[in-house]
Amino acid sequence: MPISIMSIPVLQDNYVWVLHDTTGEKTAVIDPGDAAPVRQFLDAAGWSLDLILVTHHHHDHVNGVADLHSHYGAQVVAPAAEASQIGRIDIPVHDGDRVPFGGEEILTIATPGHTAGEVSYYLPHPAALFCGDTLFSLGCGRLFEGSPKDMFHSLARFRELPDETLVCCGHEYTESNARFALTVAPENHSLRLRAEEVRKLRQQGKPTVPSTLRSERLCNPFIRADSAEQLGQLRALKDRF
């Protein structure tokens, strides 16, 4: 594979995702909530930084952007709809926009719900979805600025993507998401297996993501919800969990 995908744990439970194109020696990061660990990672690898992709305006996703932009001169790609909150953007993106990287085109998918202007980014080869705080493994983002209907439609956008797509989300929330998911779907055998796998991974201090869209379609009650109403009920239960 010409593009490899890595993650850097930052802050309390955030992940900064790293894309590296080995052929063209290009590197991109997604949602750098902190600059120092990203710089350390890039220094250790001997890489520069070409592209910074941002899914939404929350501080734990953008706090490292200004530093990384000025240090490496990397271009900032971010949702046009959140330009006033994010600040400097070189390439403002809308739904359907494609951003060239490493001989591939990264597709922008508008996924409002967690914030009003949030976007997700889809890399076709290898298939990977950078979904910020929209979809988590076994969960979905809190509805700070959008409605259950917004989130339902956003998650539905991922239906067109292949099963093997890696789900590269913004947080390590899987263990607590699993505990909640088991309360609403205790009979789901795939979920029980996944919850056990997650428990073991966390016990060993290992990340539980990326997962795959196949796994989320089998196990995640939010992406499995049949209607906006059902998703809204699940989200309200989870908020009080």
Residues that bind Zn ion (CB under 5 A): 58, 133
Instruction: Kindly tell me which of 14 and 27 has the beta carbon lying closer to Zn ion.
Output: 14
Taking each helix axis from N to C terminus, what angle separates 228-239 and 148-157, rounded to the nearest 10 degrees? 110
- Shortest Å, Cβ 50 to Zn ion: 24
Instruction: Kindly tell me which of 20 and 58 has the beta carbon lying closer to Zn ion.
Output: 58
- Shortest Å, Cβ 58 to Zn ion: 4
- Shortest Å, Cβ 60 to Zn ion: 7
* Structure tokens that stand for 240 in this block: 């009080």
- Shortest Å, Cβ 102 to Zn ion: 27
Instruction: Kindly tell me which of 63 and 233 has the beta carbon lying closer to Zn ion.
Output: 63
127-130 long-range Cβ contacts below 8 angstroms, 24+ apart: 127/161, 127/162, 127/164, 127/165, 127/166, 128/5, 128/165, 128/166, 128/168, 128/210, 129/158, 129/161, 129/165, 129/166, 129/167, 129/168, 129/213, 130/17, 130/30, 130/31, 130/53, 130/55, 130/168
| Structure-token match 């995702």, residue found | 17
- Shortest Å, Cβ 15 to Zn ion: 13
Cis peptide before 210 (omega within 30 of 0): yes
Instruction: Kindly tell me which of 122 and 136 has the beta carbon lying closer to Zn ion.
Output: 136
Tell me the residue number closest to Zn ion, measured at CB.
58
Instruction: Kindly tell me which of 144 and 241 has the beta carbon lying closer to Zn ion.
Output: 144
- Shortest Å, Cβ 151 to Zn ion: 13
Instruction: Kindly tell me which of 85 and 230 has the beta carbon lying closer to Zn ion.
Output: 85
Contact (CB, 8 A) for 194 and 224 = no
CA atoms within a 13 Å half-sphere pointing along the CA-CB vector of 226: 0
Residue 85 CA to residue 87 CA, distance in Å, equals 6
